Structure 1
């Protein structure tokens, strides 16, 4: 409707058909009336070419729109007065008015001007008789009502299309913003995941190396060469494990094999911390825990690692128990020591405790710490065996390593 080439075709075809009908005698007119009719047809075509065509596709200014209406009104009055057949030009004038008007108000006003012009032409051409007036009212009334209704309907469709386009643009912008926020959140979660992974693997291993190196230095200074040699051997073993952890962290290898290996992994952890802390560490893992999916095994393994690290650094315990058991749809990890304990409510949680809590929460489980000064400490982790609480691979298992 807003493409100029289609309007060119419509105006040329309409004007040519009207002129041909008069020329071939399909509409009986006298010579003078015929000349006036041809002039009116030419004037209508020039009005379209000079005034209307340049503004098709954009709203005409009020001045241009008024000039267009005035020119069309004059053409229709003169043409219809010369030959009532020229009222057919209103079939082009009505839609042209709505296109140039670009608003409901202008469209209705323009339609009214065209209707009055055609009625005036009928009355002038018919000598202001009752018959001419009634014919003009019938023609113009029907045309005005039909053109106005059609114009309002098409305008509503166009406005709905524009509104839909605006909403689509807003939706596209909102989706772009959501994607940007998702990328930012994903980057933030990835940073948190890397921080946990580094703390749970490399930081723990390096802490163990520091403890063992201090022990070896003290033993060497006290002349305990055999004990110092054993400690140095342990340092070498832990350093090799740390190197393997670093390589696995970079390569994003699996944490726990698909086969049942949780018990073996926790036992290797216990062996390392036996050498570091000198405490007796008992490990028990039942079959229900071994049957868990790998992601949940990773969570339990890292919680066990962090719990044993805290025992080695702070508890001064002589006996530690690590138990993993399943029952009633839940797997429970308990790390109990007979160390000096602490008051959880009065002690600020460190990154390790917070990291365990975050990791367990992501897996849909619960995390508890029971302790009191002089009464030892129990760390308890509960995870569902299955269901929607599974930890997300991106957050836990993609870069884990078996200790």
Structure 2
């Protein structure tokens, strides 16, 4: 209880009770004793107001030993005048404990209070044996009770402070975790955008460059109709690129909302046929409809197919590509893209961003990614996404 107002009420109330008791003659019938007792109460109130009260709830510094010493002298004088004034212990013990900066000074101050009461009894009793025994009994009992209670309350206060410290540390740790999560989320978002831009806009722009070069070449060679067809294809792909850009801005998946999964696959294959002049066989015999295939699986499969076909166009020098999408009984979806191009040594060739991006994307979906290739033997890319089918 560190609120000064409550301590003011407690000290004022206890002092008033003692004064009333003195005036009623409970402590002594002698007028001098009553006056001395009232003076002792006034001195105690001054000590409280001047020395103790200003540092309640704060570090007392030099005030604590001064207050304890003055309190000890006051108790010796007051108790020697009227043993009844040993009631001041009821205020002295709580004050020395609440003002103490640590546990040990509080115990020592309690000993000072007890010793002062015993000396006061002994002096007031004329240094007699009975006064010695009664004073010692009162002092020891009061000291043991006050110290035990003070240590118990002190331990509760320390426990509360420890809990407050741990709570503050936990709150700080939570804030740090939140900050790290935000940073990690931002990094993950940057990686996602990098993958999406590479897998969509970058590939589409590369196709647009090829088509533009083809249209220019056809125009220079006088192939007007062919150039017009190429420009029409270029316009269609540019519109698709615009849709992909809008999808990225709105953070939507790559599957158009107005098309089924099979149609999206067919459109992607048709685009690469037009861009690269490749013969691409598409097997959708076992592919489920978009209503039964999870959206995340659709995104992974489309992105991986797009990247695999882009790699064929850029590196393979292939004439035929076979694409198959199949679903097994466990609900996993397998995408296989195989070409008859020049291939490469999968064990020694450096992995570009495309292959690493596909592997990372598939891994985030809990799937498996594999590339099988050899020089002159073509390349096969396999993607397996587990639990891809949404139950009906």
How much does 1:223 deviate? 3.2
- Cα deviations across residues 153-193 of structure 1 (Å, max 9, x unaligned)? 11111112222222211111111111111111111111111
- Cα deviations across residues 325-380 of structure 1 (Å, max 9, x unaligned)? 11142211000010111112222211111111111011001111111111011000
- Cα deviations across residues 234-273 of structure 1 (Å, max 9, x unaligned)? 1122112112222232233443368992222111111111
C-alpha distance in 2, partners of 1:13/1:200?
82
Q: Does 1:362 align with 2:361?
A: no
How much does 1:8 deviate? 1.1
Q: What RMSD in Å do the two structures reach over aligned CA positions?
A: 1.9
Alignment of 1:273-312 (within 5 A): 273-287=272-286, 289-290=288-289, 291-312=292-313
**Helix, strand or coil for the counterpart of 1:368?**
strand
The change in CA–CA distance for 1:242 and 1:386 in structure 2 (over 3 A counts) is closer
Alignment of 1:167-206 (within 5 A): 167-206=166-205
How much does 1:299 deviate? 0.5
Structure 2 counterpart of 1:313: 314
C-alpha distance in 1, partners of 2:313/2:342?
12
**Helix, strand or coil for the counterpart of 1:375?**
coil
How much does 1:122 deviate? 0.8
C-alpha distance in 2, partners of 1:232/1:122?
115
C-alpha distance in 2, partners of 1:42/1:252?
78
Give TM-score scaled by structure 2 length: 0.94
C-alpha distance in 2, partners of 1:114/1:268?
95
Alignment of 1:1-400 (within 5 A): 1-61=1-61, 63-256=62-255, 261-287=260-286, 289-290=288-289, 291-329=292-330, 330-386=332-388
**109-118 or 78-87: bigger deviation:** 78-87
Provide structure 2 residue ranges, at least 5 long, that are not aligned to the other structure: none
User: How many residues are paired up?
Assistant: 387
Contact 2:286 2:325 (8 Å CA) reproduced: no
How much does 1:130 deviate? 2.1
- Cα deviations across residues 102-153 of structure 1 (Å, max 9, x unaligned)? 2111100000000000011111111122222221122111110010011111
**214-223 or 370-379: bigger deviation:** 214-223
Provide structure 1 residue ranges, at least 5 long, that are not aligned to the other structure: 388-403
- Cα deviations across residues 43-66 of structure 1 (Å, max 9, x unaligned)? 1111111111111111211x3222
**105-114 or 14-23: bigger deviation:** 14-23
**Helix, strand or coil for the counterpart of 1:214?**
helix
Higher relative contact order (CA 8 A, sep 6+): 1
**237-246 or 106-115: bigger deviation:** 237-246
C-alpha distance in 2, partners of 1:5/1:99?
14
How much does 1:275 deviate? 1.0
**Helix, strand or coil for the counterpart of 1:324?**
strand
**122-131 or 22-31: bigger deviation:** 22-31
Contact 1:80 1:121 (8 Å CA) reproduced: yes
Contact 2:262 2:287 (8 Å CA) reproduced: no
C-alpha distance in 1, partners of 2:137/2:186?
73
Give TM-score scaled by structure 1 length: 0.91
How much does 1:225 deviate? 2.9
